[in-house]
Amino acid sequence: MTNHKQTQHPAPAIRAYLGGSFDPVHKGHLQIAMYVYQHLLPMAKQLNYELHVSLLPNARSPFKQQSTDPKHRLAMLKLATINTPIKIDELELWQAPPVYTIDSVRALRQRYPHDSLIFIIGMDSALSLSKWKEGLGLTDYVNLWIFNRDSVSDADADIKTNINNHNLAEDMPKLVDESFITQDVTELQSQLPAELQCLVIDSTTELIMANAQVLVNKSALKNNYQGHIYIDPRPVTAVSSTQVRQKLQQISHALNIKHTAEMQIASLQPINDIMCNTELNPLAKWLNPAVYQYIIAHQLYSAAQFR
């Protein structure tokens, strides 16, 4: 009888998701995901829970004229996550757009009814949740971990309007910048939609312990669960995939891309040499060399003009 129960109700896991288009994936995405993983790992070990931190690539955005083929975005994600504990969840990737966050979190809660589910978003996205499709209902299924970005660039202006298409990673926070003074969480909390302010908690520990209740009746998930919100007070630097794509189109004269493209099949060294030169190539700060190689090899983001 005991073994049967264990099969029916396995030990809970902690599952955190960073969603986005990842077009292309860059180091900022991985740094946020790795920070979450490293922060949650001690708690997972203490509770004897499995820990899964996943990138959740979305379907083609209906708000964009062009979007890179999902097979390329997935291939770059696989290259970027090699030798890391970060996973890739393809839940949304192959669905016909539009795909909404509320539908995804419902699916995740149904898939993992007993697990601690955490959705990672930026503060600017959190402030607009009332304009998302059922955005205020996300906490009926998952917890939210909100990062506060220090600024919004012009390149992200178009992304901020895509509020119904969920958690675009281009609108996500990126590298932690300790030069900024930590903002008062109370101030940030007061900026959230009024309906969500009461759900804010003081520590990430409460994101996990709040899920101690077991959700048995899957048909009544919304009535049985109330998620929480953790606001991470440290500002993070805003860098978008939009900016990375623009840089890819701007560096053709600064770098010997043609030579690199000819050599990249034979060796990674030319790519690595370029990616180490942060003065000439700002992409070195953001792109994994293998991802950069893939972009050149498959002529993505106007890379064909470099050959």
Q: Say what the pLDDT of residue 187 is.
A: 87
Q: Say what the pLDDT of residue 307 is.
A: 44
How far is 133 from 120, CA to CA, in rounded Å? 17
* pLDDT by 10s per residue, the chain, length 307: 445 444 456 778 999 999 999 999 998 899 899 999 999 999 999 999 999 999 999 986 555 656 788 999 999 999 999 999 999 999 999 988 788 999 999 999 999 998 999 999 988 889 999 999 998 999 999 999 998 865 433 333 332 323 233 343 443 344 444 444 455 788 889 899 999 999 999 899 988 875 544 444 444 444 457 899 999 987 666 678 888 888 877 764 445 544 555 554 444 445 555 455 555 566 767 889 999 889 888 888 875 444 4
Is omega for the bond preceding 10 within 30 degrees of 0, making it cis? no
How far is 164 from 149, CA to CA, in rounded Å? 20
- pTM score: 0.77
How far is 188 from 236, CA to CA, in rounded Å? 14
E strand or H helix at 270, and its extent?
A: helix 269-276
Is omega for the bond preceding 57 within 30 degrees of 0, making it cis? no
Dihedral of the alpha carbons of 43, 46, 37, 152, in degrees to the nearest 10: 10
How far is 91 from 106, CA to CA, in rounded Å? 12
DSSP codes of every residue in 5-58: HHHHSPPPEEEEEEEE--TT--HHHHHHHHHHHHHHHHHHHHHT-EEEEEEEEP
How far is 55 from 87, CA to CA, in rounded Å? 6
Q: Say what the pLDDT of residue 213 is.
A: 47
How far is 127 from 116, CA to CA, in rounded Å? 23
3-state secondary structure (DSSP) of residue 105: helix
Q: Say what the pLDDT of residue 217 is.
A: 44
How far is 215 from 65, CA to CA, in rounded Å? 41
Q: Say what the pLDDT of residue 99 is.
A: 87
Indicate the length of the chain as a whole number: 307
